[in-house]
Chains A and B, each alone.
Chain A
């Protein structure tokens, strides 16, 4: 009645890996992307110059690198700067950014949503509201369609 079933290990094989026509993203130069400069950002935060700190932390985004540590470090730094802002200053901070920076900020915000910590979601939601007012739905679409994320 019951036969010993043959191994079902084949069901765990990822056939897409063996597809010859599988789409592979182009590799851009990734070695030199180290993420934002920690020292610079810290010093600007320390002196209370938060808008400058925001600009500094949005420089050199680790988009192309495969090194997960660099990405995590960058995200942590961005989160630190965003939390340091007072609620009333968030809008001014967003207004000081140009179009590409707003898109980049949206990417970091959504990355931050992925791993919520104690207070981060509330802060990120406030930033999200202000960034949405400037970037519009289009900036969120660009976060969703980006092949290379922060």
Chain B
């Protein structure tokens, strides 16, 4: 578990390149900084300055090595590396509110942008005009889209929104791909068709994630719940109301296990049982080493009594987790979503932690990752 503190300010969003040697992140301003791994250190190698508002989403396409960024200035840029310099191309999103999140499709021929304009922009490159064009998915979204995730078939898109629902849409663009085959979520997939909608009530849906096969969809909500839905089993939604603060990000690490993190500053594991349709809490993944309890001297006791009106050593002022503030994003580094071996979290404390699944399994006795 290596923790690296990049900044003193929150990291708004981050993205890794294909071989995890470089990380692109937004240091809570209008720019994107790219850091390169230099042994044990990280050195800044590029600064991407084009946005006029805070950069709210970054995604790095592993194969084509393009970065897409979206910001509060209602724009998105696609960056390509030419002669060692990143050059931006503006994408007209036709939105009148800030963009909130962006994701490349698995085949990298299009990307989706969620925004406060209550719609999703699906952007693809039109060869004849040498220009990125976008199509909108509007109905029946009624509030800001907070998170997006693509299904492995490159057509279905899950969207979590502030209108308390998680939905699956079809983002089929006939100009760039052939008709997709049927999936457990449905077989007729014209553009903009909604194939699944979760029940209302509850809180804003902060994060959505498809499993590796695409058959399961997990989302976290602001009412401190985690839910998993399986395609095909229309009404099967397993929810777990947790006892912790709301979770802000979630990802599958195997077909049946999820890791989520949020305002409690540590990642937690959940295990989904498809046969029983149940979701259970698997364990807290950030167990700090217990420092030896030193004896407390009489002088310290009186000092504590004087300052804190209690005799004990007050260690609740400092968080014992690695991250000292909410974790806002989680990304899989190695192994994909089927057999993840390493994942990374960034948070509002400006730090980034890389977690090793094997080490976690060995160090925590009752942890079972299915």
Contact = CB atoms under 8 A, between A and B. Distances in A.
A147 B118 CA distance: 20
Interface in A103-150: 103, 135-139, 141-142, 145-148
B143 A137 contact: no
A26 interface: yes
B223 A23 contact: no
Contacts of A145: 202-203, 222-223
A141 B200 contact: no
B118 A21 contact: yes
A137 B242 CA distance: 9
B245 A26 contact: no
Contacts, number: 44
A59 interface: no
B279 to A, nearest CB: 13
Contact of B244 (A21, A136, A146): A136
Which of A21, A142, A146 counts the most B-chain CB atoms under 10 A from its CB?
A142
A99 interface: yes
B143 A138 contact: no
Contact of B241 (A23, A26, A99, A148): A99
Contacts of A25: 200
A139 B242 CA distance: 8
Interface in A1-40: 21, 23, 25-26
Nearest to B204: A145
A138 B241 contact: yes
Interface string B245-268: 110000000000000000000000
Given A145-B222, A146-B223, A147-B201, A138 B142 contact: no
**Which of A21, A23, A135, A141 counts the most chain B CB atoms within 10 A?**
A141
Chain A interface, >50% SS class: helix
A26 B142 CA distance: 12
Interface residues of B, number: 19
B224 interface: yes
A139 B203 CA distance: 13
A18 to B, nearest CB: 17
A138 B164 contact: no
B243 A139 contact: yes
B140 to A, nearest CB: 11
B224 A147 contact: no
Contact of A141 (B143, B201, B245): B245
A146 B200 CA distance: 11
B163 interface: yes
Contacts of A103: 241
A23 B143 contact: yes
Given A142-B223, A147-B201, A135 B118 contact: no
19 contacts: A21-B118, A21-B142, A23-B142, A26-B200, A99-B241, A136-B242, A137-B224, A137-B243, A138-B243, A141-B203, A141-B245, A141-B246, A142-B241, A145-B202, A145-B203, A146-B201, A146-B223, A147-B164, A148-B201
Listed from nearest, the 7 A-B pairs whose CB atoms lie closest are: A136-B243, A138-B224, A145-B203, A145-B223, A138-B243, A141-B224, A142-B223
Given A139-B241, A147-B164, 19 more contacts: A25-B200, A26-B200, A99-B241, A135-B243, A136-B242, A136-B243, A137-B224, A137-B245, A138-B241, A138-B242, A141-B203, A141-B223, A142-B223, A142-B224, A142-B225, A142-B241, A145-B202, A145-B222, A147-B201
